């Protein structure tokens, strides 16, 4: 195993020892995961939970139900998630795609394989790489590593990446140096989020207390 692979495994072990299993993504169904992946853009998870609770209260957390819901009504229901008009349109775009191309069945989409399913999701207006990969990994159990702002910040601060690296370059860093393992990718991403929230903050990071103190390339 190369040096990068060793460091990535070391990071994983240190974070797992510190935080334990994360049980991510918190959702009752794969479709709920997908809805959450869209709603969590530019907001915190507590706000997403409130928006999802509103949808559940109206019994709307199903593809066909959201497909029939006017976008204005949907926007009001997901208001706690912020940017609610934009997110309502993105959610409608996704649901229309899912219903019209796959009869609302996520399993049919995911059964097409990682490459095709990813291309299809990225063709939906409002779904970028992070959102698509979150759906593929957490809802579809497909082996793709999710890159987010926490991951980028941690990698850059520990010398494993630089600020101008693309999403694909950062993703490749994990995909080429770790086993292709859905459970590993799932847990690793969630642990990086935990580290980013608790220690590797944008401002005033808690470097002295961080479980990754001293880790570098």
Tokens 């970028």 correspond to 128
Residue 208 · residue 46 · CB < 8 Å:
no
Helices (H) and strands (E) in the chain, counts: 12, 0
**Cα separation, 126 vs 214, whole angstroms:** 38
Q: What is the DSSP letter of 217?
A: -
The rounded distance, in Å, linking the Cα atoms of 169 and 20 is 28
Alpha helices in 104-166 (DSSP H): 106-110, 114-122, 129-134, 149-157
Q: What is the pTM of this model?
A: 0.95
Q: Give the tens place of pLDDT for each residue, 82-120.
A: 999 999 999 999 999 999 999 999 999 999 999 999 999
Q: What is the pLDDT of residue 215?
A: 93
Q: Is it the case that residue 190 has pLDDT exceeding 90?
A: yes
**Residue 210 pLDDT class (50, 70, 90 cuts):** very high
pLDDT of amino acid 1: 58
Which of 25, 24, 11, 92 minimizes the C-alpha distance to 55?
Answer: 92
Does residue 198 have a cis peptide bond before it, meaning omega lies within 30 degrees of 0?
no
C-beta neighbour count of 56 within 10 angstroms: 12
Q: Counting Cβ atoms within 10 Å, is residue 62 exposed (0-12), middle (13-18) or buried (19+)?
A: middle
Average pLDDT over residues 159-187: 96
Residue pLDDT, tens place only, 42-93? 999 999 999 999 999 999 999 999 999 999 999 999 999 999 999 999 999 9
Place of tokens 């204005």: 72
- Whether residue 92 contacts residue 66, with contact meaning beta carbons closer than 8 Å, is answered with yes
> Do 117 and 110 meet the contact criterion of CB atoms below 8 Å apart?
yes
The 10s digit of each residue's pLDDT in 139-154 is 999 999 999 999 999 9
């Amino acid at each position: 195993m190369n040096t990068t692979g060793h460091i990535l495994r070391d990071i994983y072990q240190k974070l797992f020892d510190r935080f334990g299993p994360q049980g991510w993504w918190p959702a009752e169904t794969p479709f709920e995961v997908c809805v959450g992946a869209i709603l969590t853009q530019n907001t915190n998870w507590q706000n997403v939970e409130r928006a999802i609770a509103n949808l559940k209260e109206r019994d709307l957390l199903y593809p066909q139900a959201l497909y029939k819901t006017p976008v204005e009504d949907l926007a009001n229901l997901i208001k706690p998630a912020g940017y609610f008009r934009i997110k309502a349109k993105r959610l409608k775009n996704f649901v229309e795609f899912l219903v019209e191309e796959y009869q609302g069945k996520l399993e049919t989409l995911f059964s097409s394989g990682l490459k095709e399913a990813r291309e299809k999701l990225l063709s939906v207006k409002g779904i970028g790489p992070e959102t698509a990969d979150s759906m593929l990994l957490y809802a579809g159990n497909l082996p793709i590593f999710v890159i987010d702002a926490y991951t980028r910040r941690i990698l850059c601060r520990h010398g494993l990446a630089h600020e101008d690296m693309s999403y694909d370059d950062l993703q490749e860093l994990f995909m080429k140096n770790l086993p292709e393992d859905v459970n590993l990718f799932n847990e690793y991403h969630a642990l990086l989020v935990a580290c980013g929230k608790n220690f590797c903050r944008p401002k005033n990071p808690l470097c002295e207390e961080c479980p990754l103190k001293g880790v570098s390339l």
